[in-house]
Chains A and B, each alone.
Chain A
Amino acid sequence: MANILLGFSQVFQPINILVLVCGVMIGLVVGSLPGLNDSITMAVLIPVTFGMSPQVAMCLLIGIYVSACSGGSIPAILLKIPGTASSVVTCFDGQPMTQNGKAGLALSISTYSSVFGGIMSSLVLLFFSPFLAAQALKFGPPEYFMLAIAGMSTVVGMAKKAMAKNMLVMAFGLLISCVGMSPQRGYPRLTFGNAYLLEGIPLVPMLIGLFGITSILELAETIRQGESQIESVQRVRVSPLDKSMMKRLLPTWLQSGLIGNIIGVIPGAGMIMAIYMAYDQARRANPKLKFGTGVPEGIAAPEAANNAVVASSMVPLLALGVPGNSTSALFLGALMIQGLRPGPSLYSDFPEIAYLLLVGFLIANIIMLPLMLLFCNYLAGKILLLRREILSGVVLIFCVTGAFAVSNSIFNIWIIIVFGLIGYFMNKFHLPQSPLILAVVLGSMMEKNYLQSMVLSQGSLSIFVTRPISLGLMIASILFIAAPLYKNYIRPHFITKKASVDA
């Protein structure tokens, strides 16, 4: 409790709260711009945060992460162009509402739903994460090794029909984590005589490449010369939601928030899954409503769900040091630049930062309510007219400068170019990026903990099954993989066989 108060006192330092407000504004702007999103912005800004105190840096990133997916709903509702991938579903009912002349109401519903989902999620983070971290303090090397395995198993298991693809990307990520000196004796692996690679491939330039450069490369091929751009955006008046509407949407909010939170906590599931599930559930819960024709519930469900993923995706990172999705991996990168290592020890060693993160998400969601209403009323119309080509130029300038600044090395710019290309081809072949990022982060942790376990057990693998937590994690990992494998591959196979026998 005292620590939570410490978190509040940290967030309410004048500079921190100011930066948090700026972060929320930046998030709304980049979220509402199609082509920019929270990950790209955070990757580009992480090198800038290097010069700030850890608290200020975290406030900036929290603000962006919290508000970007809400900002994405603005063009989804007004123009039927989702500003971020997380607002794809919001178009379904948002655009019809705009056509019926109810754009103001739609934006207001989106704002309130986002804030509700976000606050629910922040509370989960605030109370669940320290509890989980306290449990994790009992972990030794075998448990951490198994935890990394379990994290990767969920990512592979969540992929449903694309398990082989996810597995492939995951292994490729592990391979990238192998580059550099081996943890055993410092033997240079896969460095090809390059001294820069001895320390391994740096995480932040890699993320800048995967997010920033990839997005610009994709823009290069989608934009056609002289294509007509958005000429004008209708002006809307967005007013606070009235009580009867709030009462009507409350069940949808609770249900979608719950879905978002559960999905957020599981590594590798992500926002896209949450919004579709929440929309689907809302449709089932309200069979009388015609979804897709401009129903308030159709906006409330995905918007509450995507914001509910935000803070809860930080639970595994802050409690266990395992990022839940690619955006929380960016927080990991930002913390590491500051010389901090997320995980259970962060609560005991740097409580001022750990609890600032927990409380920061809550406060960011609360200040988002008035800011987003103001933003929709006054700024959104002008911002949506910005040209994407110019934005890409700006992003690119910050990408190369930031990458250089991470360790004052031109080699980092090569890294962003290579990973921009890798990200571009991965998208072409529909290979997901989050398993790659997760595996790069977990790879070195896995190898190190495996070696330490082997030292503890004098080379016997039995250490992984004789310790209860490790055994439990191992069983969980097997289930994460085996259950979807059975459901998607083995059972359908049997059914078709049986059907052919019957026939």
Chain B
Amino acid sequence: MPVVFIVLSVLLLIYCGSIPKDDAIFLRLVSIIILLSAVTELFFTLRRSEATVELNGRSILKALVLLAILTVYVILLKIVGFLPMTALLGIATTRYLGYRNWKNNIMISVVVTLAAYVIFSVLLKVPLPMGLLFS
């Protein structure tokens, strides 16, 4: 983890060189703090010489699948529209988290999506993307 931040700070310092000097003062300072604290953290992690973090591949995969579901949602949102996509998102997530009762799942997701639609689109007048079909 500290290594990621060290790389980040070095990239930032290079970036600082490419923008006007005045605008970069603060950014440069921040990069140096990141670099210093990441090096310190690396030093302590190495000295403790024990893995303090267990990164379990399978559990991370579960989180990443959820993120993938969300990404697909955002991409399709404009095309398919808020109502069907959001209800689907609710159903997919609830099912993926391990809830097996399809009837309840679909009912709750649809009702909550409609509630969100009424609150934001009807009451707060937010122009939710309606998709190609409904617009």
Which A residues are within 8 Å of any B CB, using their own CB? 47-48, 50-51, 164-165, 167-168, 170-172, 174-175, 178, 182, 184-185, 187, 189-190, 213, 216-221, 223-227, 387-390, 392-394, 396-398, 400-402, 404-405, 408, 410, 413-414, 417, 420-421, 424, 428-431, 446-447, 450
Contacts and interface: CB of A to CB of B under 8 A. Distances in A.
B97 A401 contact: no
B53 A220 contact: no
B119 interface: yes
Given A394-B112, A408-B126, 20 more contacts: A48-B120, A48-B124, A51-B123, A164-B37, A164-B41, A164-B44, A165-B37, A168-B38, A185-B20, A189-B24, A217-B66, A390-B105, A393-B90, A394-B90, A400-B86, A401-B82, A410-B129, A413-B70, A446-B26, A450-B26
Contact of A392 (B22, B93, B100, B113): B93
Interface string B93-135: 1101111100011001100110011011001111111000000
Contact of B67 (A50, A223, A421): A421
Instruction: Say whether chain B's binding surface is mostly helix, strand, loop, or mixed.
Output: helix
Given A178-B27, A390-B99, A396 B89 contact: yes
Interface of B: 1-2, 5, 12, 15, 19-20, 22-24, 26-27, 30-31, 33-34, 37-38, 40-41, 44, 52-53, 55-56, 59-60, 62-63, 65-67, 70-71, 73-74, 77-78, 82, 86, 89-91, 93-94, 96-100, 104-105, 108-109, 112-113, 116-117, 119-120, 123-129
B63 A429 contact: no
B63 A220 contact: yes
Contacts of B91: 393
A168 B97 contact: no
B98 A389 contact: yes
A405 B67 contact: no
A221 B63 contact: yes
Closest 5 CB pairs of A and B: A221-B59, A393-B94, A389-B99, A182-B23, A51-B124
Instruction: Say whether chain A's binding surface is mostly helix, strand, loop, or mixed.
Output: helix
Contacts, number: 171
A217 B64 CA distance: 8
Contacts of B41: 164-165, 168
Contact of A220 (B66, B86, B117, B119): B66
Contacts of A450: 26
- The CB with the most chain B CB atoms within 10 A, among A417, A431, A450, is that of A417
Contacts of A392: 93-94, 97
Given A165-B41, A171-B30, A389 B67 contact: no
A164 B40 contact: yes
A185 B128 contact: no
B104 A390 contact: yes
Contacts of A51: 123-125
Contact of B12 (A175, A390, A446): A175
A175 to B, nearest CB: 5
Nearest to A172: B34
B71 A417 contact: yes
A221 B60 CA distance: 7
A332 to B, nearest CB: 21
Contacts of A394: 90, 108, 112
A410 B85 CA distance: 13
Nearest to A187: B23
A189 B19 contact: yes
Given A164-B44, A168-B41, A50 B34 contact: no
